[in-house]
Amino acid sequence: MLFKEVPKNLDFPEMEHEIAGFWQKNDIIAKYLDKNKGKKKWSFQDGPITANNPMGVHHAWGRSYKDMFQRYKTMKGFEQRYQNGFDCQGLWVEVEVEKELGFKSKKDIEKYGIDKFVQKCRDRVHKYSMVQTESSVRIGMWMDWGEWKTSMDDKDWMKKSHSYYTMSEVNNYTIWHFLKKCHERGFIYEGVDVMPWCARCGTAISDMEIATEGYQELTHKGVIVRFEIIGRENEFFLVWTTTPWTLTSNTGVAVHPTLTYVKVKNNGVIYYLAKALVNVLKGEYKILQELPGKDLLGLIYKCPFNYLPAQKDVIHKVIPWEDITESEGTGIVHIAPGCGKEDFALGKEFDLKTIAPLDELGIYLPGFDWLSGKDVKDVAQPIIEDLDKRGLLYNVEDYTHRYPVCWRCNSELIFRLVDEWFISMNTLRHEIAESAKQVERWIPSYGLAHELDWLKNMADWCISKKRYWGLALPIWKCKCGHFTIIGSKEELQQRAVEGWDEFAGNSPHRPWIDRIKIKCEKCGKLTMRIPDVGNPWLDAGIVPFSTIRPPDDMHTLDNGYPYDKTYWQEWFPADLISESLPGQFRNWFYVILTMSTVLEKKPPFKVLQGYASLHDEHGEEMHKSKGNAIWSDDAAEKVGADIMRWMFAKHNPVQNLNFGYGPAKEIKRVLLTLWNVYSFFITYAEIDQFNPVNKKISESNLRKLDKWILSKLNSLIEQCDKAYDNFDLTSVVKISEKFFEDLSNWYIRRSRKRFWKSENDIDKEAAYLVLYECLVKLIRIIAPIMPFFCEHMYQNLVKNLDQNAPESVHFCDFPEPDSKRINPTLEQEISMTRTIVSLGRAARNKANMKIRQPLASMTINVPGECPGLSDDAKHTILEELNIKTVKAIGTDALSQVYMFSAVPIFDKIGPKFAKSVNKVGQWIKSLSHEKIEQLINAGSLKGTVHGETIAISKEDIEIRKIEVPGASVMIQGDYGVSIDTKLTQDLEYEGLIRELIHKTQLMRKEANFNLTDRIKIFYQTDEKLKDAITDNLDYLKSETLALEANEGLQTGEIEKTLDINGIQAKITLQRVSTET
RNA sequence: GGGCCUAUAGCUCAGUUGGUUAGAGCGCACGCCUGAUAAGCGUGAGGUGAGUGGUUCAAUUCCACUUAGGCCCA
């Protein structure tokens, strides 16, 4: 056996497991990683995946891109780092561990012990990084994984894995270095701000984190409250809010200075509100006065909760605010600077008092009377009742709006005044924008505009989190107010006055790091580290600096940035990053640009390739809670990794991808075309014992068809190379699929007889060699996209025969196109031939003439500039269409098959002929072809209708072309085909015989005869078919392998009554001999 | 309110120096092939290219505005 037999229908997952076994057994991945050592470098920077859960199909999408780009560059001979990265620290891991342990709040964590909790977080990362590595390998992602199946109590597991981990010492200390640089430029400050806050997690949620799923449609109480104006009797502001709990901290109201407000009398009371919003009033009202908002400025009022101790001595003012809209509420906006972001900013600007009512778990602080100690979640209704009791409630209604929720635990966020640490973006934002502009290419190109928009609008970066598992912010703050930022482990050791011994040997995490005390530079007192941990985007943002270090020594502090930049410089900046678009402009892209700008004043990547979101097959977002999420492993086992990868690559990355098993089936069908080609080749090459080793394609033996497919093949190589180089996988897939189609539906279909014939001549060998060439080149083109499938074919087609060939298709170079083979003229000729054939089929379809019925002749119309049809092309067309001759070919060949007919345009002839219009219309319809030609040539035509002479012009009629009887015509552009549908007796008889042969073959199959069994045919039918059989007896016998065909009835293996083009025929088949 | 993206067949989407007649897959209908066969192939129907205006000899393509949807920000 030359080749391994291949199954007719490919089971992708099964094949992939077999190939994965082969790779493992022969250490293929390691050899692949080594292949280009010492050659020119191409640098890919992996954005870390959070090692917190199994991989979803959305991860598989992105990771497939990363793998495909790197594989292509490997085939092009570049040395790469193949470094994968895991994101480890942050709230998302904590939340999962809390769930595991059944914790409800931060108190549970403190009770459990921070050290144990942190260890649990570490373990989770360890576990899921292994799970994700396995899933990545399953989908064919070849990275430098190192040793990754480590036991949970292996202390060195992180070193054994070659992936980077953002919780590593190296990563954390490099962030310290960055923060110190920021501090040296004065960017770091501790600020008070109102932040979105999750009371369950007990932490601020940064702007960056309120992502798409950070909002939910929620219903709250919208209340309208009366604010009594001081110094004006019986006059009130009407103020609307959806967060009654914030009324306790109200210190002002805002009006739009130029909008029109009204003073109205309603139920005997005077109210103020925006004119456009008077429909909120209940009952009758009378407008007493219209006034611009600015006329209300300077008034003071009684806050509804002025009895609370926290409100003591507060003056409540009216202030201007231009962002007020007339779309909802009352146009007078309640301002609580301690409970809202804009409120806080306005409060600062207009010197309002700030009252912060809640502690970090959302409980009212002392000073709020009956509310103190109550949970903010539970106070809306009591507050409304309290207001009502005191006569201050004007109205209350349900109000549904999009409201921010915690993106991890789904709790409603509140806005809370907090002390957090920030990096100021005042000057930095411009520098980052400059870096962004230096990026060579954003794919898609709108990326730069998008990033710049974010940079223009973003707030200062809040880097602190009041949590446990994360970067220990290296900030030691003294009671005197001074703070110190430590930039490295070394510096920490030098500065440590207490606690170093306890800390040494641990990673720079809580709680160990918190033991260390240093001396305040200013007052000399011992100071503690602030308890906050870092925002996790610090962790991911530093990786262009912290992770580019010698792969055999990833964890030594001083052999990489910033101590020893030798290795780092060879790989920085990255040639490519590839990540999901929607969130990353304000996340990863933003933070790596920021950190790189501070550290190196330039962008850390040259090209960014981004992609949209993955949805389910109905276009819905995937959520675990919704039940429509799909794990990568499940998808791989169900449809196969290569099918997923092909689907991913085919998709336009800017669009959301709808992933599902339905779409996967479509992909499989396309790939089965290629599989069928391969399986066809194997089947026949095996029969003929065709061995391509040491054989070369000889130009002189090639047919036109061979030259054509070789031209297509080399165009394909050229175009795919270009597309890959452009990171445009969509094009690679689309033009490859077109090639599968050309190869299968034209090259093989037209070449079948060459493979079937019994003699092994040079023509047959040429066909084998050409098909072989196409297959082995093709698999090298698409190997980066379908590593398993291509490996399978490679092993069977190449390695199986040639021990000197590279061990794996993934060690092969990307094919070089042979431009001499590319022949556009030939490609055009075949394309023309195929167009004509398809028109011929359409014409047959229209006339209801199946291919089996031979026809006498056809006429072909071709465009003027076309060089005419070669004999070869003509022959192909006739054979494909089962037609005897071509009657005419030319630019005007179809003129004879059409007749003109005219249809009156009544709009035109109506006014001309008034009452006789119907008669004229009939006359027009009856005009002959020749008369219409006259009309066309002369522009007008005279005639007699009911004794009257009339004249019509060209414009009065619509000219239609109709086919002459006996022809069926199809036109497409300048191409046209007319087939002669008239049947002579010979043609009819031949058609009958072919129908009979076809049905006899079906009977042979049904009777389970072997392909080579000889038979006898007995028939009983009418005269016409009998004549037809007599006339074509030899043909019938040779096609059906019949020794005899006789009239009469006999018993046999199978007997049937057939319908042969409407003629009944009783047929019996007898088997005469059988070969085994 | 500002920025970005999108709008093409029932569905999912292609379509560039602006140029005859806007394409594909799926689905649907009809059919072909029967030596790749629990496969393969073809043909057909289906479009006022979201709307309006502009630039141009010519606009799905360029520009402006409007509408609808999506994303980001305020």
Residues 900-929 of A with CB under 7 A from strand B: none
pLDDT at A771 over 60: yes
Task: Point out the nucleotide closest to A1005 (alpha carbon to C1′).
Answer: B34
Q: Which of A570, A575, A548, A571 is nearest to A559 (CA)?
A: A548
Quick one: tokens of A989?
């008889």
**Is the C-beta of residue A820 closer than 7 Å to nucleic acid chain B?**
no
C1' (B62) to CA (A323) span, angstroms:
36
CB atoms within 10 A of CB A284: 8
- Those residues whose C-beta lies under 8 Å from the C-beta of residue A318, and which sit 6 or more positions away, are A237, A252, A253, A254, A255, A296, A297, A298, A299, A300, A301
Residues 161-220 of A with CB under 7 A from strand B: 207-208, 210-212
| Chain B footprint positions (protein CB, under 7 Å) | 2-6, 12-15, 20-21, 25-26, 30-44, 71-74
CA distances A104 to A25, A100, A101, A511, A887, Å, are: 48, 11, 9, 21, 87
Average pLDDT over residues A288-296: 90
C1' (B68) to CA (A582) span, angstroms:
21
CA distances A823 to A171, A702, A766, A864, Å, are: 55, 14, 19, 21
Residue nearest the C1' of B36 (CA based): A680
pLDDT at A551: 85
Is the CB of residue A585 less than 8 Å from the CB of residue A451? Answer: yes
Distance, CA of A563 to CA of A337 (rounded, Å): 46
C1' (B33) to CA (A852) span, angstroms:
10
pLDDT at A1065 over 80: yes
Three-state secondary structure readout of A661-702:
HHHHHHHHHHHHHHHHHHHHHHHHHHHCCCCCCCCCCCHHHC
C1' (B26) to CA (A237) span, angstroms:
61
Task: Point out the nucleotide closest to A730 (alpha carbon to C1′).
Answer: B14
- Those residues whose C-beta lies under 8 Å from the C-beta of residue A626, and which sit 6 or more positions away, are A620
Burial class of residue A461 in the structure, from the number of CB atoms within 10 Å of its CB (0-12 exposed, 13-18 middle, 19+ buried): buried
Burial A829-853 (b: 16+ CB within 10 A, else e): bbebbbebbbbbbbbbeebebeeeb
pLDDT at A351: 86
Residues 852-871 of A with CB under 7 A from strand B: 852, 863
**Is the C-beta of residue A459 closer than 7 Å to nucleic acid chain B?**
yes
**Is the C-beta of residue A438 closer than 7 Å to nucleic acid chain B?**
no
Residues 722-761 of A with CB under 7 A from strand B: 734, 741, 744-745, 748-749, 752, 756
Q: Residue A733: phi, psi to the nearest 5?
A: -65, -45
**Is the C-beta of residue A973 closer than 7 Å to nucleic acid chain B?**
yes
Which of A409-413, A580-584, A985-989 has the highest average model confidence (pLDDT)?
A985-989
- Length of chain A as a residue count: 1076
Distance, CA of A131 to CA of A555 (rounded, Å): 22
C1' (B15) to CA (A730) span, angstroms:
14
CA angle A788, A790, A792 (to 5 degrees): 70
Distance, CA of A832 to CA of A872 (rounded, Å): 12
C1' (B73) to CA (A212) span, angstroms:
13
pLDDT at A166: 96
Give the least confident one: A230-234, A247-251, A1036-1040.
Answer: A1036-1040
> What is the signed CA dihedral for A164, A168, A171, A173, rounded to 10 degrees?
-160
Position A866 confidence tier, pLDDT thresholds 50, 70, 90 = low
pLDDT at A521 over 70: yes
- Those residues whose C-beta lies under 8 Å from the C-beta of residue A345, and which sit 6 or more positions away, are none
Average pLDDT over residues A948-972: 73
What tens digit of pLDDT does each residue of A1043-1064 get?
A: 888 998 888 888 888 888 888 8
Task: Point out the nucleotide closest to A683 (alpha carbon to C1′).
Answer: B36
**Is the C-beta of residue A7 closer than 7 Å to nucleic acid chain B?**
no
Is the CB of residue A219 less than 8 Å from the CB of residue A283? Answer: no
Is the CB of residue A889 less than 8 Å from the CB of residue A863? Answer: no
Position A959 confidence tier, pLDDT thresholds 50, 70, 90 = low
Quick one: tokens of A404?
């921010």
Q: Give A947's DSSP letter.
A: T
Q: Which of A345, A504, A535, A519 is nearest to A423 (CA)?
A: A535
Going edge to edge, which strands form the sheet with A441-443? A441-443, A605-611, A574-580
pLDDT at A1017 over 50: yes
Give the least confident one: A226-240, A702-716, A888-902.
Answer: A888-902
SS3 of residue A232 by DSSP: coil
Using a CB cutoff of 8 Å and minimum separation of 24, what contacts does A906-911 make?
Answer: A908/A955, A908/A956, A909/A952, A909/A956
Average pLDDT over residues A198-209: 74
Average pLDDT over residues A27-36: 97
**Is the C-beta of residue A762 closer than 7 Å to nucleic acid chain B?**
no
CB atoms within 10 A of CB A771: 26
pLDDT at A906: 66
C1' (B12) to CA (A615) span, angstroms:
13
C1' (B15) to CA (A735) span, angstroms:
14
pLDDT at A474: 97
pLDDT at A1040 over 90: no
pLDDT at A355 over 80: yes
Distance, CA of A678 to CA of A774 (rounded, Å): 10
ipTM of the complex: 0.93
pLDDT at A210 over 70: no
Is the CB of residue A419 less than 8 Å from the CB of residue A191? Answer: yes
H-state helical runs in A743-761: 749-756
**Is the C-beta of residue A434 closer than 7 Å to nucleic acid chain B?**
no
Distance, CA of A412 to CA of A56 (rounded, Å): 26
Quick one: tokens of A336?
């609580």
Residue nearest the C1' of B38 (CA based): A9
Task: Point out the nucleotide closest to A341 (alpha carbon to C1′).
Answer: B74
C1' (B66) to CA (A327) span, angstroms:
21
pLDDT at A212 over 50: no
pLDDT at A213 over 60: no
What tens digit of pLDDT does each residue of A161-189 get?
A: 999 999 999 999 999 999 999 999 999 99
pLDDT at A198 over 50: yes
* Block residue for tokens 């196109």: A817
C1' (B38) to CA (A798) span, angstroms:
31
- Those residues whose C-beta lies under 8 Å from the C-beta of residue A985, and which sit 6 or more positions away, are none
- How many CA atoms within 13 Å lie on the side-chain side of A394? 27
C1' (B24) to CA (A633) span, angstroms:
31
Average pLDDT over residues A883-902: 77
pLDDT at A441: 92
* Block residue for tokens 């050899």: A31
Task: Point out the nucleotide closest to A213 (alpha carbon to C1′).
Answer: B71
C1' (B10) to CA (A618) span, angstroms:
15
Burial class of residue A59 in the structure, from the number of CB atoms within 10 Å of its CB (0-12 exposed, 13-18 middle, 19+ buried): buried
H-state helical runs in A783-905: 787-794, 824-847, 871-881
CA distances A841 to A373, A846, A858, A887, A978, Å, are: 84, 9, 12, 17, 11
C1' (B5) to CA (A731) span, angstroms:
21
Quick one: tokens of A701?
């033996």
What tens digit of pLDDT does each residue of A269-282 get?
A: 999 998 888 888 98
pLDDT at A905 over 70: no
pLDDT at A219 over 70: yes
> What is the enclosing helix (H) or strand (E) of A936?
helix A929-938
**Is the C-beta of residue A1061 closer than 7 Å to nucleic acid chain B?**
no
C1' (B28) to CA (A844) span, angstroms:
22
**Is the C-beta of residue A1011 closer than 7 Å to nucleic acid chain B?**
yes
Task: Point out the nucleotide closest to A615 (alpha carbon to C1′).
Answer: B12
Cα R_g (chain A), whole angstroms: 41
**Is the C-beta of residue A652 closer than 7 Å to nucleic acid chain B?**
yes
Average pLDDT over residues A91-113: 89
C1' (B73) to CA (A872) span, angstroms:
65
pLDDT at A410 over 50: yes
SS3 of residue A1022 by DSSP: coil
Task: Tell me how far apart the 2 most distant CA atoms of chain A are, in Å.
Answer: 125
Average pLDDT over residues A143-164: 93
Q: Residue A104: phi, psi to the nearest 5?
A: -105, -30
pLDDT at A835 over 50: yes
What tens digit of pLDDT does each residue of A591-622 get?
A: 999 999 999 999 999 999 999 889 888 888 88
CA angle A95, A99, A102 (to 5 degrees): 130
Residues 585-644 of A with CB under 7 A from strand B: 585-586, 619
> What is the enclosing helix (H) or strand (E) of A658?
strand A657-659
**Is the C-beta of residue A673 closer than 7 Å to nucleic acid chain B?**
yes
pLDDT at A142: 97
Residue nearest the C1' of B21 (CA based): A973
Q: Which of A86, A155, A163 is nearest to A119 (CA)?
A: A155
C1' (B51) to CA (A186) span, angstroms:
54
CB atoms within 10 A of CB A613: 16
Distance, CA of A536 to CA of A461 (rounded, Å): 12
C1' (B3) to CA (A453) span, angstroms:
6
